[in-house]
């Protein structure tokens, strides 16, 4: 299992942050530097600076947060982050991780997955740490089972604990802090004067702390819990960061849909009453199962759609006791059995009843199709087969689905299914307070890390948001009801299609299948198919404009600058051309052909790295040692981070350099370099592995020793070589595709109405926005000259990775976009005389030749003469006449 591209971006962000710590020796400065140069930079308006200050929650310890929506794979990201963090440390002590979770459900799930050698989480950690990994729960730690002073030095040690294990007012209240004879072996490292407790051992190990669902660990008591383990680094994982979080990376929720991680949008239908909700739920489940059968027959995966029936207490109050709870959910189970649903297909999961314990809900042998719950599935429960949330709240209540909506969002098998109904999730309700219900659904999405933008009213019944399509059927007559009941006891099973009749419907998927009763189902299906296509097209449009959606927690901190009123009309007419490619038929929406913005990755089809040139000048390597000691001049000590070049790390490299394993040396170093290089999508790992093998095959013993001492420098040289080879291949493909019209240009990029740069520049005449992005002295000098020219209408600083890009064999974000009064649009890139930019010059020239007569591209140096570029003096003379 490999990282998705968006997950790799998170790891890249983490690596970059660690590099800034190495560079600055100070966490606060590193946090500012990281965001000041990041394309997703948030602003902090209240203090007038670009970045919200780093919150020093745990003194002397880097404490950062990653925002990951539900189903985004935060646990897998954390598994990959362990190696990234430890690689940045000068870490001679045993490697230990304290993995904190908020509940017993998540605790059991995390321990199970991390211990399982066949689970992708454990496989990834094993690969990173040479299979020398041990996972402990609290009981094993307290018993000293496989946990002693010798074993901890030989492996990565992961301690999975609940918050409550450490979150205490008095240490004496918990066994973790009580003297423990089972841990006596640690006296050799703690000393005879130290009381031997599990807490003291963990404190000595100075662990990396991973905090899952970190929004549950924000109290003073929780912060004290983090301090007591003496962490070297704290990594928070959550879908909803709190105010004191230091966010360094976030996943755009739409990335999850693009990567087929979630079933969005959510289709919401409000019915007359509970009876109708059950009727629709049963038939919709059958319809989805028909599609799933068709999917499997056409080579797809096995899916058995599940309905979650949510029973809610009257007036939103909790049940008084276990018997009351049991009575209510059992009544619903009896109603379903009365409808001739086989009892083995119905299970109850509440706080006091757990009939799904030990059942593999995704197994073909499993019969479960209906689960009755209250809020017991609100966290830690994971079954992608759950498609329908049918709420049986009282009609007079606003349906509260906030806690469990995330349970129906995960996409089975993380893939797009051919039948559209299998790519969405569904909420069925019966509430006279439908707007309040919708608000709770949006809160549920927000709790899962998705958009909470308000609904816009479409007509009397339809409401639409970014991730939710809702319709109120409660005032529309689908069935002639003489009595509208609103109590579980009074659910009228005579108005519900019996399960055995539903089962008589055709098993083969057919768009024209007519269901046995007139119901909202056909409208639900039609809406779902239509909105799925709209949602998919929206994803394409967002990708076209390369827009970035900031999470709600960051949006509140962002300061934006709008286009000046005087330029709004003229700027609104500018649509900059970009390169597009034609997608073959049936790849998207089953259309004959579809146009998508060109991505450089698509130009690498057919790139055979394994056969490429391996000429790399390793003899020029000089040791790069990034040793950072504690800086006593700082107000607070900072942790010691290091890139380990310059010293052979015996504990790590002895295995690689062992003369008795000479035949395996190439393989061992290949694996090590692959770990350092990381994901280079779309180049397959196998291609990189074979390329590394070819490089290392001819290495001498001295070269292997040098590689061991300077692995990061070797990694950089090899990775840069691969990038250069891939870009050369992509450039040739790009030119060939242009010549054969497989790649073409068309108007695409619209100047945004507002921008949010990390740093802002001085006020210079004729700037398009109220404030422009920051620039260096040469850029400032150039644009000041341009802004004072009579023929210039306006100019703007094009933001790196946020603004307009010339998309080709590289992604080129020119420095400035300039509009002349004659209607010409000039794209300008400035370069210091010491910098090379031949690729950008070639791509800019190709763009200008295809864009048309109203567009110009210029590369400008101050004094240097370069083919295809201009010296500043010559350029200024030319632009005056455009």
Q: Choose the weakest-confidence range: 544-558, 588-602, 626-640, 704-718.
A: 626-640
Report, as an integer, the average pLDDT of 484-491: 56
317 Cβ neighbours under 8 A, 6+ residues apart: none
Helices (H), 546-609: 552-555, 568-572
Report, as an integer, the average pLDDT of 532-558: 59
Distance (Å, rounded) from C-alpha 206 to C-alpha 22?
19
pLDDT higher than 50, residue 517:
no
Token pair, residue 704, equals: 């292997």
- In three-state secondary structure terms, 820 is strand
Quick count: other Cβ atoms within 10 Å of Cβ 365?
6
E strand or H helix at 838:
helix 838-851
Where residue 730 falls among pLDDT bands split at 50, 70, 90? very high
Quick one: pLDDT at residue 490? 66
**305-326 CB burial, b ≥16 within 10 A, e <16:** bbbbbbbbbeeeeebeeeeebe
- Residue 198's alpha-carbon distances to 232, 562, 673, 868, in angstroms, are 18, 56, 36, 67
Cis? peptide before 682, omega within 30° of 0? yes
Q: Choose the weakest-confidence range: 338-352, 373-387, 514-528.
A: 514-528
Percent of the chain with pLDDT over 70: 74
Quick count: other Cβ atoms within 10 Å of Cβ 112?
13
821 Cβ neighbours under 8 A, 6+ residues apart: 791, 792, 793
Percent of the chain with pLDDT over 90: 29
Report, as an integer, the average pLDDT of 514-541: 65
pLDDT higher than 90, residue 450:
no
**525-536 CB burial, b ≥16 within 10 A, e <16:** bebbbebbeebb
Q: Choose the weakest-confidence range: 7-16, 46-55, 202-211, 434-443.
A: 46-55
Quick one: pLDDT at residue 817? 97
Quick one: pLDDT at residue 648? 46
pLDDT higher than 80, residue 161:
yes
Quick one: pLDDT at residue 588? 38
Scan for tokens 């000048």, then name that residue: 617
Token pair, residue 161, equals: 């604990």
Compute the mean pLDDT over every residue in the chain, rounded to the nearest whole number.
Answer: 79
Quick one: pLDDT at residue 540? 65
Alpha-carbon torsion, ordered 567, 568, 571, 575, to 10 deg: 180
Distance (Å, rounded) from C-alpha 849 to C-alpha 844?
9
Q: DSSP state, 203?
A: H
pLDDT higher than 70, residue 424:
yes
Quick one: pLDDT at residue 19? 86
108-120 pLDDT per residue, tens: 889 999 999 999 9
Q: Choose the weakest-confidence range: 39-43, 142-146, 791-795.
A: 39-43
Q: Are 124 and 1 contacting, i.e. CB atoms less than 8 angstroms apart?
A: yes
Where residue 478 falls among pLDDT bands split at 50, 70, 90? very low
Cis? peptide before 265, omega within 30° of 0? yes
pLDDT higher than 90, residue 522:
no
Report, as an integer, the average pLDDT of 65-80: 87
pLDDT higher than 60, residue 316:
no
Domains and CATH numbers, the chain: 60-246 (3.40.50), 255-524 (no CATH), 609-738 (no CATH), 742-879 (3.40.1350)
Instruction: Phi first, then psi: give them for residue 709, nearest 5 degrees.
Output: -80, -25
E strand or H helix at 842:
helix 838-851
Distance (Å, rounded) from C-alpha 733 to C-alpha 742?
10
Packing angle of the helix pair 5-24, 74-87 (nearest 10 deg): 30
Report, as an integer, the average pLDDT of 397-419: 73
Report, as an integer, the average pLDDT of 23-49: 68
Report, as an integer, the average pLDDT of 852-880: 94
Packing angle of the helix pair 711-739, 701-709 (nearest 10 deg): 90
SS (H, E, C) 249-311: EECCHHHHHHCCCECCCEEEEECCCHHHHHHHHHHHHHHHHHHHHHHHHCCCCCCCCEEEEEC
Q: Are 136 and 147 contacting, i.e. CB atoms less than 8 angstroms apart?
A: yes
pLDDT higher than 90, residue 831:
yes
């Amino acid at each position: 299992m490999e990282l998705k591209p968006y997950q790799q971006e998170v790891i890249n962000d983490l690596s970059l942050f660690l590099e800034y710590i190495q560079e600055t020796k100070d966490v606060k400065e590193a946090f500012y530097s990281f965001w000041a140069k990041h394309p997703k930079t948030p602003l902090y308006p209240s203090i007038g600076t670009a970045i919200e200050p780093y919150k020093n929650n745990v003194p002397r310890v880097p404490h950062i947060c990653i925002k990951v929506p539900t189903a985004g794979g935060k646990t897998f990201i954390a598994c990959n982050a362990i190696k990234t963090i430890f690689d940045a440390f000068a870490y001679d002590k045993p490697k230990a991780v304290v993995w904190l979770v908020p509940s017993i459900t998540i605790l059991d799930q995390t321990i199970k997955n991390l211990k399982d050698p066949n689970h992708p989480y454990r496989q990834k950690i094993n690969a990173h740490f040479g299979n020398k990994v041990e996972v402990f729960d609290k009981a094993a730690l307290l018993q000293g089972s496989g946990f002693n002073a010798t074993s901890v030095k030989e492996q990565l040690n992961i301690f999975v604990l609940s918050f409550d294990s450490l979150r205490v007012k008095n240490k004496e209240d918990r066994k973790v802090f009580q003297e423990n004879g089972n841990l006596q072996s640690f006296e050799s490292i703690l000393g005879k004067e130290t009381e031997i407790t599990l807490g003291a051992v963990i404190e000595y190990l100075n662990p990396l702390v991973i905090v899952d669902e970190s929004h549950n660990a924000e109290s003073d008591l929780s912060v004290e819990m983090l301090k007591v383990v003496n962490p070297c680094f704290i990594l928070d994982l959550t879908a909803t960061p709190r105010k004191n979080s230091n966010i360094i990376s976030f996943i755009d929720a739409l990335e999850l849909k693009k990567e087929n991680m979630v079933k969005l949008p959510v289709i919401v239908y409000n019915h007359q009453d509970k009876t109708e909700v059950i009727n629709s739920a049963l038939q919709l489940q059958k319809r989805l199962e028909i599609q799933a059968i068709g999917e499997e027959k056409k080579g797809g995966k096995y899916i058995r759609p599940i309905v979650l029936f949510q029973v809610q207490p009257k007036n939103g109050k909790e049940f008084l006791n276990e018997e009351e709870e049991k009575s209510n959910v059992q009544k619903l189970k009896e109603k379903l059995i009365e409808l001739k649903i086989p009892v083995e297909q119905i299970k109850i999961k509440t706080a006091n009843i757990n009939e799904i314990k030990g059942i593999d809900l995704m197994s073909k042998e499993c019969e479960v199709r209906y689960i009755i719950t209250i809020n017991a599935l609100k966290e830690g429960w994971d079954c992608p087969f759950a498609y329908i949330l049918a709420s049986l709240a009282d009609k007079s209540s606003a349906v509260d689905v906030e806690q469990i909506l995330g349970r129906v969002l995960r996409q089975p098998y993380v893939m797009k299914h051919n039948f559209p109904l299998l790519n969405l999730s569904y909420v069925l309700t019966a509430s006279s307070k439908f707007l309040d219900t919708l608000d709770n659904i949006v809160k549920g999405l927000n709790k899962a890390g998705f958009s909470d933008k308000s609904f816009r009213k479409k007509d009397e019944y339809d409401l639409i948001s970014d991730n939710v399509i809702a319709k109120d059927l409660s005032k529309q007559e689908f069935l002639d009801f003489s009595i509208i009941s609103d109590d579980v006891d009074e659910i009228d099973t005579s108005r519900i299609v019996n399960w055995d009749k539903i089962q008589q419907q055709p098993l083969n998927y057919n768009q024209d299948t007519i269901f046995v009763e007139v119901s909202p189902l056909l409208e639900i299906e039609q809406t779902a198919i239509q909105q799925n296509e709209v949602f998919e097209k929206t994803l394409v449009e967002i990708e076209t404009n390369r827009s970035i959606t900031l999470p709600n927690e960051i949006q509140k901190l962002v300061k934006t600058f709008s286009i000046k009123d005087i330029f709004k009309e003229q700027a609104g007419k500018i649509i900059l051309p970009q390169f597009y490619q034609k997608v073959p038929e049936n790849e998207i929406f089953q259309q004959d052909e579809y146009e998508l913005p060109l991505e450089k990755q698509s130009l690498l089809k057919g790139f055979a790295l394994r056969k490429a040139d391996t000429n790399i000048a390793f003899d020029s390597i000089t040791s790069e040692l990034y040793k950072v000691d504690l800086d006593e001049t700082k107000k607070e000590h900072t942790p010691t981070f290091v890139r380990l070049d310059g010293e052979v790390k015996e504990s790590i490299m002895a295995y690689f350099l062992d003369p008795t394993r000479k035949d395996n040396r190439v393989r061992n170093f290949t694996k090590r370099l692959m770990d350092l290089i990381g994901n280079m999508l779309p180049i397959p790992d196998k291609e990189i592995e074979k390329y590394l093998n070819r490089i290392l095959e001819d290495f001498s013993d001295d070269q292997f020793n040098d590689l061991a001492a300077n692995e990061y420098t070797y990694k950089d040289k090899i990775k840069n070589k691969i990038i250069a080879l891939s870009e050369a291949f992509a450039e040739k493909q790009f030119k060939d595709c242009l010549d054969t019209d497989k790649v073409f240009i068309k108007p695409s990029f619209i100047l945004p109405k507002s921008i949010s740069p990390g740093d802002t520049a001085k006020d210079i005449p004729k700037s398009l926005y109220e404030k422009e992005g920051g620039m260096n002295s040469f850029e400032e000098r150039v644009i000041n000259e341009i802004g004072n020219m009579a023929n210039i209408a306006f100019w703007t600083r094009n933001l790196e990775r946020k603004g307009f890009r010339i998309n080709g064999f590289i992604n080129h974000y020119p420095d400035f976009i300039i509009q002349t009064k004659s209607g010409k649009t000039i794209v300008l890139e400035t370069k210091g005389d010491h910098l090379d930019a031949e690729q950008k010059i070639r791509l800019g020239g190709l763009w200008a030749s295809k864009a048309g007569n109203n567009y110009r591209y210029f590369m400008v140096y101050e004094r240097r003469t370069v083919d295809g570029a201009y010296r500043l003096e010559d350029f200024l003379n030319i632009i005056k006449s455009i």
